[in-house]
Amino acid sequence: MTENSLDTAGRQAAVDMTEGGRAAVSASGATASSDTVDAPAPSTVAGPPPGTDGRPPRPTLGRRAVALADSLWRPALVLAALFAAWWFVAAQEYVPNYLVPTPGQVWTTMTGQSSELARHTVVTLYETVLGFVLAAALGLAAAVAIAYSRTLDKALYPIVLFAQVIPKIAIAPLLVVWFGLGLTPKVILAVLIAFFPVVISGVAGLRSTDPELLDLAATMGAGPWRTFRKIRFPNALPHLMAGLKVAVTLAVVGAVVGEFVGASEGLGYVLLLANGNLDAPLLFADLILMSAIGIVLFVLVEIAEALLIPWHASRRAGVSLTTS
């Protein structure tokens, strides 16, 4: 199972990376290099070993699919077991059905009210995505400001850290009072909750640039923009993507909580209705849809990460839905 051991190594590197350990990454790079390409004497060996193009073979689509299946079958099995247990408990009515409905009842509700549920799902999805995109943009801007300006670092960073202590869910009622029942308070709440991990990861990423690379950039006569674009930003991406993955799941929480406090549509609103009517099947259906939004958005960020930083240690093992 080389595929497996590689995957574990990559994961370990990813964990070290998020803990701010750049040394760990370079160490894993060093071990990787020792068994990939050895330095040939230029006078004796002119080229790389034939056929390899000097690099290990890229995983093909088929091998990636196998690796994906390999990484998914265990969690799938656990999920199936939980699902079976739910079904059994509900079908035998160990717990009354108005508390725990059977999967069949939930399915009937979902298909029966599909157009209504779809409308509410779109509302929540829109709030979440808008909140996430804004949080990502604002968070990155703040991270750049903090990483580049010592004054802003001293002025802003403590406030950002402190603001995280305020329970933002408690602000929700105030936001509704200020901005009404529409889209705005939900988006603001999503932004407030998702902003923090983006800033923290962005600052950590931008600060992790090798100081020697920055010295080098200075002797290359490049301005700050070019240095940012070519060196600092790509270097910060692994950190930043980890932060974005956390942020996207938090954005869902923000949107739903915003709907709890005051809304006329959205999955959070439906959840309150279902709860009030003791409509357990609808409640379960609603929960499933909320989770689906979170999962789909998370996977989208994962895909973006795979496209943006295929070179990074956490990505080298090929398929990974498990880096965080």
- Amino acid letter for position 2: T
Is 54 a binding residue for other proteins by CB under 8 A? The answer is yes
How many of the other CB atoms lie within 10 Å of CB of 38? Answer: 9
Is 36 a binding residue for other proteins by CB under 8 A? The answer is yes
| 238 within 8 A of 111, measured Cβ to Cβ | no
How many residues does this entry show for the chain?
324
- In the complex, what is the shortest distance from the CB of residue 33 to other proteins, in angstroms, rounded to a whole number? 5
Q: Which CB sits closer to other proteins, 23 or 159?
A: 23
Is 304 a binding residue for other proteins by CB under 8 A? The answer is no
Determine the distance from the C-alpha atom of residue 159 to the mean position of all C-alpha atoms in its chain, rounded to a whole number.
24
- Amino acid letter for position 163: A
| 287 within 8 A of 119, measured Cβ to Cβ | no
Distance CA 224, CA 216 (A): 13
- Amino acid letter for position 150: R
What secondary structure letter does DSSP report for 170?
G
| 240 closest CA partner among 321, 135, 151 | 135
| Interface with other proteins (CB under 8 A), residue from 32, 138, 287, 306 | 32
* Span interacting with other proteins, options 2-10, 27-35, 174-182, 259-267, rule CB under 8 A: 27-35
Q: Which CB sits closer to other proteins, 37 or 181?
A: 37
| Binding track over 90-129 against other proteins, x by CB under 8 A | ----------------------------------------
| Interface with other proteins (CB under 8 A), residue from 19, 47, 150, 167 | 47
| Interface with other proteins (CB under 8 A), residue from 83, 148, 178, 311 | 311
Enclosing H/E stretch for 103: helix 103-112
Determine the distance from the C-alpha atom of residue 280 to the mean position of all C-alpha atoms in its chain, rounded to a whole number.
30
Residues 190-229 that bind other proteins (CB under 8 A): 210, 212-213, 215-222, 226-227
* Span interacting with other proteins, options 44-52, 71-79, 96-104, 157-165, rule CB under 8 A: 44-52
Is 230 a binding residue for other proteins by CB under 8 A? The answer is yes
Write out the E strands in the chain: none
Backbone phi and psi for residue 222, each to the nearest 5 degrees, phi listed first = -85, 145
∠ CA 295-176-168, rounded to 5°: 55
* Span interacting with other proteins, options 46-54, 86-94, 125-133, 271-279, rule CB under 8 A: 46-54
* Residues at the contact surface with other proteins, assessed by CB under 8 A: 29-30, 32-34, 36-43, 45-48, 53-56, 210, 212-213, 215-222, 226-227, 230-231, 234-235, 309, 311-313, 316
